[in-house]
Structure 1
């Protein structure tokens, strides 16, 4: 007992210093984790990343740094961390295999956040659906369809497919195909269509619109009408132009053909009665 008491100051000095250093490592590691997580959050906020993704990535970065901090503190106390690291690695591998689909969605969410092929408020076609992007979360992307349905698509399906972003540019071209009868005067038809386009308040002056003959179809001469509008005015311009073109062609006496079928009934000779 006396011998143990005599060694107590030396033991306290040796292990006390290790404990202090371990505590110092934990304190510094916690400060560093908060600092790095804050820097990551600010960087993502400057890039207009969604708040959900900002919070998740910040927490993930802080957790990773704190995990390494605790391992370093345990090593300072003399704990053999090699087996602990191996155990954590095996556990991480097992969890990764079990959550393979979720991890692929998470990785896809990170790519969507970093490269930003679309953002909240954009109208897109992705993962077999079309709608306005409501939210890009860590594992899924939420779309609101034009008829107000909510579509939740896995991020992996979004990033691995074709993404058509209709809101990426400020302007869009309205492509209309207008068929008129073969006996219609082409110059008059082109003039009527051009007047309708020029009268629309949605059509932009630059780039210039085009009205051209595109096809001599089976029952009609097809014109293409291609004005440019602001992206947010696309459907208003589309519906207005279609209605005004129909009225203008009717007023000008220009016919719009439609499919017709002529049925000829032939009188067959009567057959003699069968005895």
Structure 2
């Protein structure tokens, strides 16, 4: 076909004598060309599937990164071979010649291109290796889910920026102006999104300080609940009223934070008043005996009762008990069980829980508050008329 001669002559390595004979002998009819195209397509598909098996074999022997690299190289070779085979079948090897002429470069440019491809490939493998290392740390509970997400972004962005810097330096690009422009853009963005940047910075602070994890019960800024998720910008809390609250991370770092799940136990206080005529020491013993065997309360530390203060109508006792694996439901259950047990014990022992009352008494001799008689009332009424 004349198509071989248009656009220039292909290099001898691409169109040798035996390739010319092959084209003239077997690929001169359209039907044969179509059949050969189908065969090449099937072979390419089978070769791609073999690439997966090759990756698995290399992965088991040399590691996953090497396995992925081998599969990428194999796929590139398969695609190049398939394109070249189709160009032979359809007598268009001149197209490859045009591509080669277009890509004709000097040795230094070729080295730059080769180094650029190598740097990008190494950066890709580094990103995959870093992400797998983070996944491994998360599986061993060394990192939380939030920390893993932040670590993904930090490692990927860091590797990408480093790769970009190396490539630009390799091609002789002056990075001074780029850094100056980036600094100006950063200043503008910082002024326009101060709160967002503060939340992001607070997210990194939470990453390294680790004051709580997902599933912990915390109290912060008038909110109390279970941590459901932590992102770079905010923390999601599910309150005990089944409300989902998003608290910005900068609010968390600036406020007092209480983690009620960190120590795996929590003290619960219950106050009860006793009559002033009651023996305080005896009442304390009764309370301890009433709560020490409750299932909702831990046996260690032991329940403790103190005389807290003199109230208006009673002596106020404070009962201190502990619960394990703290949750709001366990605290409610422990408080309810303690109150019921103390009430039953006081009823058995005849200990009175007094109502608020006031005692009135006159100073010195006092004075009488008389009730007007009937005659005085009548006289007042006549006078008013």
TM-score, with normalisation over the residues of structure 2?
Answer: 0.62
Q: Contact (CA 8 Å) 1:37, 1:59: kept in 2 or not?
A: no
What is the aligned counterpart of 1:196 among 290, 293, 303? Answer: 290
- Offset, 1:189: 2.0
Spell out the pairing of 1:54-133 with structure 2 (5 A cutoff).
54-133=148-227
Ranges in structure 2 where 5+ consecutive residues have no aligned partner: 1-103, 362-368
Return the offset for 1:79. Answer: 2.6
CA contact (8 A) 2:296 2:337 kept: no
- Whether the 8 Å contact between 2:203 and 2:232 is mirrored in structure 1 is yes
The 10-residue stretch of structure 1 (49-58 or 66-75) with the greater mean CA deviation from structure 2? 49-58
Equivalenced residues, count: 268
| Alpha-carbon distance change, 210 to 263 in structure 1, aligned in 2, over 3 angstroms | closer
Tell whether the 8 Å contact from 1:50 to 1:135 is kept in structure 2 after alignment: no
Q: Which runs of 4+ in 1 moved over 6 A?
A: none
Secondary structure class of the residue paired with 1:27? helix
Paired residues of 1:41 and 1:58 also in contact (CA < 8 A): no
CA deviation after TM superposition for structure 1 residue 138, in Å: 1.3
Structure 1 residues 14-49: Cα deviation after superposition (integer angstroms, max 9, x where no partner): 322222223323322333333334434544554454
Once the two structures are superposed, the pairs formed by residues 6-45 of structure 1 within 5 Å of their partners are 12-43=106-137
Q: Which residue of 1 aligns with 2:344?
A: 247
Q: Is residue 238 from structure 1 mapped to residue 332 from structure 2 by the alignment?
A: no
Which whole-Å CA distance do the structure 2 matches of 1:192 and 1:236 have between them?
20
Note if contact 1:53-1:138 (Cα within 8 Å) is conserved in structure 2.
Answer: no
| Cα 1:67/1:181, change in 2 over 3 Å | same
Match of 2:238 in 1: 144
Structure 1 gaps of 5+ residues are 1-9
| 1:111-165 Cα shifts (integer Å, max 9, x gaps) | 2222211111111111221111111111111111111111110011011111111
CA distance in 1 between counterparts of 2:187 and 2:155 reads 19
Question: Equivalents in 1 of 2:183, 2:149: separation in Å?
Answer: 25
Question: What is the root-mean-square deviation in Å for CA atoms of aligned residues?
Answer: 3.0
C-alpha contact (below 8 Å) 1:132/1:145 kept by paired residues: yes
User: Structure 1 residues 181, 128: CA separation in 2 closer, same or farther (over 3 Å shift)?
Assistant: same
Superposed displacement of residue 187, structure 1 = 4.2
**Contact 1:126-1:161 within 8 A present in 2 as well:** yes
Greater Cα offset, 208-217 or 144-153:
208-217
Which structure is larger by alpha-carbon Rg, 1 or 2? 2
SS class of match (1:65): helix
Q: 2:247 aligns with which of 149, 153, 163?
A: 153
1:175–1:225: 8 Å Cα contact kept in structure 2? yes
Q: 1:175 aligns to what SS in structure 2?
A: strand
